[in-house]
Chains A and B, each alone.
Chain A
Amino acid sequence: MRAKSAAILLGAITALGCISLSNACGPVATGPPSREAGVDLLGRLVVVRAGPGAAEDGQSVRRHEWVVRHGRRLVTTTLLAPVAVRAGLAGLSGRFTLKLLAAPVFNIGDGIQLEVLVVGAGDTRPVCSRYFDAGRVAADRDWLRLEVPLDLSGAADSCLEIRVSAGPQGDLDADWLALAEMRIVPEKAAL
């Protein structure tokens, strides 16, 4: 009788332990993405061109990199100049807004040039150009929010191309540009 009750108690303690462990290690439930969230583009980026020696380990794109700017810590996809990446926009048609946060990872170098283009069938349209100069401009030592209107009407298989290159002096040292929360949202939701 005593052994039985002790066995039951042991079993209960073990079960409680297992429950606490499974709670601690279980997946975190997430809801469906809202319309406001739009389409996440960071996961779609693929390298189309990369310059020689963009990084010591040969990587031109670093995914899931934590970058901190002004105390704000974001998970990013970081592009190491010179590089061009593309994200497919197949199936999207109409007017959209590209939203993203961008920041140079380091405070040195002669700056980083960012170009955003929409590439369709035989047609390349620049839609955004921005020069980041964290070495010399205090405001560029922070996350910069970019909102770029995109007209994808009549472009069935277009894609977004992002080019990151050196500053005006051609100094490629530390030309790392971090992109975060990059998504494309229908224009209505963007308003």
Chain B
Amino acid sequence: MKAFTHTPALRRFQVHRDLALLTLVVVGCALPFLSQPFHMDDNFYMDMARNARVHPLHPYDVPYDFGGLHLPDMASHSHPPFQTYFLAAIQRFAGEGEGREWIYHGVALIFPLLAAVAMYFIAARFVERPLWPSLCLAACPLVLVMEHTLMADMPTLAFWLAAVACFLWADELNRKSLYGASALMQFAAMFASYQAAALFPLLGWYQLRRRGRLSGWIAVLLPPAAMGTWLAVSSLHYHRMILLDTLGYVQSRAAGSPAMLGTKLLALLEYQGWLIVFPFFLLYMYARGLKGRLLGLSLLAALFLAQAVVPAYRPVDKAIFAIGLTAGFFLMARIGAACSDAFLGGRPQQTGFDRLTTQFLSLWYFGVAAYCLILFTEGSARYILPLVPPALLFFFRRLEITEVTEYRAESPPLLNSAMVASGTLILSLTWGMFLAQADFELARVYPRAAAAFARIYSGFDTYVTGEWGFRYYFGRTGAKPVPADVSSVRGGSLLVKPGLAVPYDVPADLASMAMPLANLSFDLKTPFRTMDTRVPAGFYSTGWGLIPFSISEMSLETLEVRQVNFMVERLPWARVESAAGVKPWPGYVYKPERALAVLTKPGVSILYPWEMRRPVVLRVNIGLVNAGPSADDGPHEFEILRRNARGEVLARFAGSLRPGPGAEGREWQPVKLNLPACAGAGETLEFRYLAPAGSGAMCAFAEAFLANADKDWRADIR
């Protein structure tokens, strides 16, 4: 059986029909998710795009805080700036703001469309019915999830496929214009992701084996030369070899350690098993040996491995692990066997391809698998996108071969090749839409969270310690990443830390002054999880789990909100009047839970300069420390005074506690006091403590929160 035997000319009706169908599928699958909020690292590219509009030649030349690290520039980021420029162009014309995400996703649809069309022309070179693998690429679960993000992965795949398609047909038709187009696409792929440099050895090898013409060599050599020039110019600008720092980052994450290599290998198999086509069909096609016993034995072995490698996973997660591992293993094993035969000349596998094609596709597949293992710091589903096309070509070509053998067989199989092909397409698409919906809902958590947060806590300086859409949507409400020098974070500021979105800790000095204020939890409607901390779903990173999805009914994200205690943070700038000469100090009291307080001896007045430009509510608990039941020495008096610059009292609280036999004297007295906004310089907030002479007690002003006057200040939101 021969592969596609005629040129898929653009004039032919069949090609028009196929491309129209492909476009329909791509657009149809994307439409429900066009409004997807910015997700994962979209935020980073949006930040860089803003800088690209100011500094177009060096868009990464901007100080940036990421994951708690404070970097002078982002030149050594893992991706060159193609996507940054792309988003900068959209920002220029569409702007940013609520409800504009669909514009970005709508324009970015060009990438899955280009990928599907390019796949069609690549498939036309190798298989009889190119529509099937290209449709299956468009319906591939991995593509369905990734095409709704604005990271560099879909552009890389699209340009990669376009470069290969142009090159193959340029070689076939001897068209210099196609070589030129291929060179342009290769450069675009490399300018989107460094790993696309793998195209150079891949196409170079093909060119060598086909004894290609000079124009082919130029098309192969020009893109890496252009990338090299760009890297050299960038390195001159930044006064360092920018890729060395990228490699340094890889080194710092121990990417080559045996444990990490093992993790990445398992993840590579898991992602392939679950995310290229629905795993049933991989198992049906590749794991039916020994009258079905091979599949049973393999699944059993995978379950044993799951028990050994991830013993803490729930049974359902172990089952997901075992199925993905088995399906991924058989896919890789079959392509490996074909590769081995093609290169070493052993027993011919029934791939349906000639030796050169098998070599080319298996080099493509294993080249991507190799750099996924070697170069990346962790496993991620998106990294394997470029190996999906050769895997689909092997799969569908085998189906075509099976179709012929079925035709000659005496009895038809239970599932014939047509049923497998259409089943693969429909079930993969359905499965992909479920996952895309789960990812869509995950992305929607953060705009929801930012809106809920802003309703309660608007007006206070807010700092976030997380990434992804969390950072983007909180940034829209005015929140900033925690600065490198946290001494600029003032008392009353809020610190928000996610549970899922790459949380990191603030420095210990700032953390010591922060008090827990609220936990905001967010649920999803779907039980599917692409990323989670409570179940091991790690679609985007093996740091979260070894399986690409999981199932859960628990809350997905919980934001921890803390407030920097203004009494503690501002204490060095407060004026203290003390009869005993002992200045108050910040410390812990137990009521009975540990609470941060300012502790003071009797006869002390603490005057804080008051600069809050809006009315707030002060909530504080006042109590006595070291006052035993027998210390009935009279009333201990407290006063809180909010004064303007002329010394006039704008707000006042006065109270007393009388320690002694009565338990009420030793309880904590909650105080709520409305504090008017500061109208100018010289205004103060004063705390006073007076006690009978000789008292050994101390007063604690504990958990001094500032809140909006009209809001449910300590809400737990779901």
Binding site for B on A (CB under 8 A): 2-3, 5-7, 9-10, 13-14, 17, 20-21, 23-25, 67-71, 104-111, 133-138, 141-142, 167-169, 171, 173-174, 176
Contact = CB atoms under 8 A, between A and B. Distances in A.
Interface stretch (B179-187, B292-300, B505-513, B615-623): B505-513
List the 4 shortest-distance A-B pairs measured between CB atoms, nearest first.
Answer: A71-B485, A106-B512, A68-B507, A71-B484
10 contacts: A7-B344, A14-B370, A17-B370, A68-B508, A69-B507, A69-B509, A71-B483, A71-B484, A108-B585, A169-B582
Interface string B117-142: 00000000000000000000000000
B421 interface: no
B250 A107 contact: no
Contacts of A24: 247, 250-251, 255-256
Contacts of B573: 138
Given A6-B205, A69-B509, A167 B585 contact: yes
Interface in B424-466: none
A22 to B, nearest CB: 8
B209 interface: yes
A56 to B, nearest CB: 12
Given A24-B251, A67-B508, A109 B256 contact: no
Contacts of A173: 587-588
B375 interface: yes
Given A107-B510, A168-B582, A174-B512, 5 more contacts: A25-B256, A108-B585, A135-B571, A135-B587, A169-B582
A105 B509 contact: yes
B390 interface: no
B585 A171 contact: yes
Given A171-B587, A173-B587, A137 B572 contact: yes
Contact of B201 (A9, A137, A176): A9
Contacts of B355: 2
A111 B572 CA distance: 13
B343 A6 contact: yes
B568 A108 contact: yes
A107 B513 CA distance: 7
B676 interface: no
A135 B256 CA distance: 44
A2 B209 CA distance: 7
A135 B568 contact: yes
Contacts of A5: 208-209
Nearest to A103: B509
B374 interface: yes
B149 interface: no
Contact of B568 (A14, A68, A107): A107
B203 to A, nearest CB: 12
Given A6-B359, A106-B508, A106-B509, A68 B486 contact: yes
A80 to B, nearest CB: 13
Nearest to B70: A71
A111 B355 CA distance: 77
A127 B370 CA distance: 60
B17 to A, nearest CB: 38
A105 B508 contact: yes
B509 A134 contact: yes
Contacts of A133: 585
Contacts of B480: none
Contacts of A70: 485, 487
Interface in B392-425: none
B585 A136 contact: yes
Nearest to A18: B374
A126 to B, nearest CB: 25
Given A23-B247, A25-B256, A136 B205 contact: no
Given A67-B508, A171-B587, A25 B251 contact: yes
A70 B509 CA distance: 10
Interface string B557-577: 000000000001101110000
A102 to B, nearest CB: 14
Given A6-B359, A135-B571, A108 B586 contact: yes
B583 interface: yes
B586 A107 contact: yes
Interface in B196-212: 201, 205, 208-209
Given A6-B343, A70-B485, A21 B374 contact: yes
B289 interface: no
Interface in B581-620: 582-588, 596, 599
A138 B509 CA distance: 12
Interface string B345-381: 1000000000110010001000100110011000000
Contacts of B345: 3
Contacts of A142: 487
A189 to B, nearest CB: 30
Contact of B585 (A13, A23, A135): A135
A174 to B, nearest CB: 6
A68 B370 contact: no
A190 to B, nearest CB: 29
B370 A13 contact: yes
Nearest to A108: B586
A1 to B, nearest CB: 10
Nearest to B573: A138
